[in-house]
Structure 1
């Protein structure tokens, strides 16, 4: 056994002192153990909260304290609640990307009023309950740690968003809808208004500005805060721009977007699904931070760098007094320095790239922060009853470090979720290790990081360029300068540790999907003449659920998806989100057939111009899940060779779209969860 070491890090003078509880009136309240002090430097005191206005609310009967400006999630994290519950006997951390839906107690059974914790404002005296997830009961609930919500996550889609299946109410009509309130979205909204268009700008969170603050400044640029403040002020002055914050678009097609909006009144908040009709749409949803793959990568205390930055900068929330950073991307070094300035002890930076250079890396060395190049996390476990993390590294030394928190960054993936739902194509960019958008969609354009731009300058200019594209005007080149790799090393490939036979599972992404990596069978169960297949999926395109963009990207890195098929899988499986895959199969009495002309927009043309919708009847009685691919035989696994895909459940089998060459009453094979299921096609009206 390797003896744990502290790593001998850079230690600010106050690094080992307990982070003080917020001052003032908050002292009469339950302590907020993860709240940074009011005088925390570098903006980590929390720009969104008002510490002179404390509040209390209940969450599943538990009293949680916070401040005006907190969300339910930020207040819960500040109070030390950092665990959602148990998934396959392993705790899952509570984060901005993985949290249950909630609702006011009086509206607990109505999905249209459900709310996401991360976007719902905390309200004094409110009573919230988690929505649609089973909780531990009786003695199990009595003895569970106070840091957990105690949810059971083994059921299908435990963190689903119930409002996705609700029809939208007509809200507004606009010339241009801009989705995303970062610098690219703000720029696009301004360009649209100056072109004489009425503009609706929607942002999922309660504020504008995006994530530019984490990425710092290049030569010739304003500070991120200056750029965001200037653009936000210009948008506010434009009478032609309507801003809808706390509004998240989750489904889209040319001409229409469906969104979930949080409406707040004194003492209550409720969700509402709205439809926005728009002649033109710009998707400026930014980039998603990827999750390095190692055993225990979703334990409480393992946090994405972007998530950690937003919680500290907006709400003054930081878990623990010490942290280790594991990254293959340079912006994580900026977070390490900001945290160090705020009195957090940074024990070490584990750098996955064997050789790397950037201004942030050089600055962090000047801070005295220890760096370990060419080192990835092998696994993470808990010690002292879960209060600390044991970080096992995978390098020549193979050391173990003990810390309060592990901050991780596996690089960045353009958020193409809505692009795929709208019918857009993508392909795997092997040079950059990510999915990139391909082609065009009539009346829809991408901007900013979602379009693949890197710099703040490029993102801002791309917003105006997207407007020019939609209006058919002459387009000017976007200046997106890339620093010479000698001075700014590009992001490395996703850090992937060797599979672990024991310990906490590893997950493909930090979102709500809870999709695990295949795990190797323990060696003690292997014989030299007999090889056992690994547990879990071996072809990610067969997963019985919709996939997140990051899960598709991780699938390519793990060889669970062929690189040349990544775009096809993403277009089909990411776009499965609005197909109600979270609903169970309908009863025979309630089933109504789909008209043969009703082909989802994202599948139009996928199986030829004359593809048709048929019943798919398996030889054996079973349910075929949406997204399962249909093949003419059992000789191929490649998604590109499929002749159709399952769309939805049917009272007898399933309904699928198939190529025109396939006749009715024709034998086919459905590949689902690694198994071939023999079936036969039949017309819908039989």
Structure 2
């Protein structure tokens, strides 16, 4: 046991003291045999971070930070043989005496690692991140139990989702409100409100009281929705029993669905951007506000958004040293910035981070700033701190929208994907709909209900302060590529862990004619699901054409199929395709498609999601003729355009920029057909 070195003292933390924990109730539990200490109200993740464990494990090029967006699943030791009962660290409340194990591949030195932790507790969970699907979430492979339907499902319990739930209940609808975090309310407190607006805190209290007092609303927290289609969602719910939390996967059905999932925080792209000690702005705020957790005694901030200044001031009040705020905007203005100047915090406008490394001795980070504005670039002296808080701006969270068949498009001015049209019976609200201001998010919840019920539209007005007083967010900062960088540059902070391709060194001088060129790395060829933040980073890096961003985001979202409930009139896929083909692929490869077995020439395993092209020379994602759906013995199942499908015909699967020859062997038929 190592105590709680990353827990802020209640006497000095102020608003960051941890409103969700009871410091008078100390609890202990075990994780992989290691005793962890925490307080009642902690999640497993917050207690582990408070204990000084900030690393998931080591990847091919270094350690990766532990966070709510990148944490292994856990399971009670007594249930370790049943991975479908796995729990999420960030959504599991701690229980005295519980014993958990991480569900992740261990390093070959796992036994030595456990012995070292017993003698001198380390800071890593010891997961071998180099292995494929090292941070897999087992419940995503399960089938949901169908529960009692409702008239409306609201996904997301921030102020927009709460507003939508109340408006729907007032209209006589039965409502299920689903929130992944332990409490309703969202993160409006980080952004504040404008003069004359209701404060986020007041909105939480007002809407929370209305929800608690409404018999038509069932609010579920610790409920993460990871799949959606028109008429249904699939949810992983953590239930807090008297003795031990448990998990279940359920399918909930409704006539209407509102997606109010907020916005994803973009990760600035620079070498070492996922090292332990680096944390996103919103997660740092959440850990400190709810659990009083802050890693280290000093923190640098690097941002493209003014909200970072608010957290920096709160950190200073909690006696955390803030040596500098690095801002990608050349001349930022904000009320938060003016307040920060009064605090005496040093600012570095027009600056981004080029690279971050671990300090050569002891804990902490060494950060290399890079002045970059108006075409001028200059390396600045390095800075040191225990923690680096980063914010690359905000991308509407559209994964569920895309999965259900909704469209999106690239906004070149805002440098983000924004939603377009969607399926009947579904609507967006709040940040997910592209709104930023507090009042606009509140109004958008009511507007979504009126839209679904075909009522007169509710006006949603985005109140904007003049840019001379409030500078808009900058595009997500992208550092120049470096051949000398030690650690990789990741595109996003989530489970996908896609890294920016490194510049390829060549022994050929550039002035020679016909110098052999390195094959281009195309993000569209990566054989895995892509998040909207992955897509946005890909566009900024020139790896995705802006005009293709919306189509690619819809096509490459995670594939999860939810069957229609028994006896319903909901549309369904053809019987032989229902278990395999998600709805968003409808029409992607033409009006007529078929399922075929394909076999690669070199007997390798093909990755689900990899696109098929007519031949090895074709690489345009928009010209693809099919997609790999699932691996089977001696090959894979693919969805193909019917005009192309013929036994014995050859094609090419694109993976990581390579063309892999395949042969069509026979139409796929389910057992019994």
Superposition TM-score, scaled by structure 2 size: 0.92
- Describe how 1:318-333 pairs up with structure 2 within 5 A: 318-333=294-309
- Quote the residue 1:96 is aligned against: 68
Of residues 5, 10, 13, the one that matches 1:38 is 10
Describe the shift of the 1:148–1:577 C-alpha distance in structure 2 as closer, same or farther (beyond 3 A).
farther
Is the Cα contact below 8 Å between 2:594 and 2:667 reproduced in 1?
A: no
- Quote the residue 2:166 is aligned against: 190
Q: Which moved more, 1:313-322 or 1:477-486?
A: 477-486
Of residues 84, 105, 128, the one that matches 2:56 is 84
Q: Does 1:157 align with 2:133?
A: yes
For 1:451 and 1:402, the matched residues in 2 are separated by 38
1:455-478 deviations in whole A, cap 9, x for unaligned? 111111111111111111111221
Of residues 139, 153, 162, the one that matches 2:112 is 139
- Quote the residue 1:336 is aligned against: 312
For 1:386 and 1:451, the matched residues in 2 are separated by 45
Of residues 9, 22, 27, the one that matches 1:55 is 27
For 2:18 and 2:518, the matched residues in 1 are separated by 46
- Quote the residue 1:414 is aligned against: 396
1:338-362 deviations in whole A, cap 9, x for unaligned? 1112211111011111222222222
- Describe how 1:131-530 pairs up with structure 2 within 5 A: 131-135=103-107, 136-143=109-116, 146-385=122-361, 387-395=363-371, 396-501=378-483, 502-522=485-505, 527-528=509-510, 529=512
1:274-305 deviations in whole A, cap 9, x for unaligned? 11111111111000101001111011110101
Q: Which moved more, 1:487-496 or 1:97-106?
A: 487-496
Deviation at 1:230, TM superposition (A): 1.5
Deviation at 1:517, TM superposition (A): 1.1
Q: Does 1:541 align with 2:541?
A: no
Is the Cα contact below 8 Å between 1:611 and 1:659 reproduced in 2?
A: yes
For 1:492 and 1:86, the matched residues in 2 are separated by 32
Q: Which moved more, 1:594-603 or 1:286-295?
A: 594-603
Describe the shift of the 1:336–1:112 C-alpha distance in structure 2 as closer, same or farther (beyond 3 A).
same
Is the Cα contact below 8 Å between 1:565 and 1:638 reproduced in 2?
A: no
Is the Cα contact below 8 Å between 1:521 and 1:532 reproduced in 2?
A: no
- Quote the residue 2:375 is aligned against: none
Deviation at 1:224, TM superposition (A): 1.8
Describe the shift of the 1:35–1:663 C-alpha distance in structure 2 as closer, same or farther (beyond 3 A).
closer
Of residues 590, 595, 609, the one that matches 2:576 is 595
- Quote the residue 2:635 is aligned against: 653
For 1:333 and 1:226, the matched residues in 2 are separated by 22
- Quote the residue 1:130 is aligned against: 102
Report the 3-state secondary structure (helix = DSSP H, G, I; strand = E; otherwise coil) of the residue aligned with 1:504: coil
For 1:272 and 1:288, the matched residues in 2 are separated by 25
Describe the shift of the 1:531–1:47 C-alpha distance in structure 2 as closer, same or farther (beyond 3 A).
farther
- Quote the residue 1:637 is aligned against: 619
Describe the shift of the 1:477–1:401 C-alpha distance in structure 2 as closer, same or farther (beyond 3 A).
same
Deviation at 1:681, TM superposition (A): 3.4
Describe the shift of the 1:203–1:246 C-alpha distance in structure 2 as closer, same or farther (beyond 3 A).
same
4+ residue segments displaced more than 6 Å: 530-535
Describe the shift of the 1:445–1:367 C-alpha distance in structure 2 as closer, same or farther (beyond 3 A).
same
Structure 2: tracts of 5 or more residues without a match: 372-377, 563-573
For 1:308 and 1:675, the matched residues in 2 are separated by 39
For 1:557 and 1:603, the matched residues in 2 are separated by 26
For 1:485 and 1:457, the matched residues in 2 are separated by 19
- Quote the residue 1:21 is aligned against: none
Structure 1: tracts of 5 or more residues without a match: 1-28, 580-592
For 2:523 and 2:277, the matched residues in 1 are separated by 28
Describe the shift of the 1:636–1:491 C-alpha distance in structure 2 as closer, same or farther (beyond 3 A).
farther
Describe the shift of the 1:534–1:259 C-alpha distance in structure 2 as closer, same or farther (beyond 3 A).
farther
Is the Cα contact below 8 Å between 1:599 and 1:613 reproduced in 2?
A: no
For 2:361 and 2:211, the matched residues in 1 are separated by 50
Q: Does 1:615 align with 2:597?
A: yes
1:292-329 deviations in whole A, cap 9, x for unaligned? 01111011110101000000000011111111100111
- Quote the residue 2:566 is aligned against: none
Deviation at 1:519, TM superposition (A): 0.9
1:53-98 deviations in whole A, cap 9, x for unaligned? 1111111111111100000110111111111110114111111211
Q: How many residue pairs were aligned?
A: 643
Is the Cα contact below 8 Å between 1:172 and 1:275 reproduced in 2?
A: no
Q: Which moved more, 1:265-274 or 1:175-184?
A: 265-274
Q: Which moved more, 1:610-619 or 1:127-136?
A: 610-619
Q: Which moved more, 1:70-79 or 1:140-149?
A: 140-149
For 1:532 and 1:142, the matched residues in 2 are separated by 50
Is the Cα contact below 8 Å between 2:528 and 2:610 reproduced in 1?
A: no
Q: CA RMSD in A?
A: 2.1
For 1:123 and 1:350, the matched residues in 2 are separated by 40
Describe the shift of the 1:237–1:465 C-alpha distance in structure 2 as closer, same or farther (beyond 3 A).
same
For 2:208 and 2:462, the matched residues in 1 are separated by 22
Of residues 631, 649, 659, the one that matches 1:676 is 659
Report the 3-state secondary structure (helix = DSSP H, G, I; strand = E; otherwise coil) of the residue aligned with 1:52: strand
Superposition TM-score, scaled by structure 1 size: 0.90
Report the 3-state secondary structure (helix = DSSP H, G, I; strand = E; otherwise coil) of the residue aligned with 1:381: strand
Describe the shift of the 1:360–1:659 C-alpha distance in structure 2 as closer, same or farther (beyond 3 A).
same
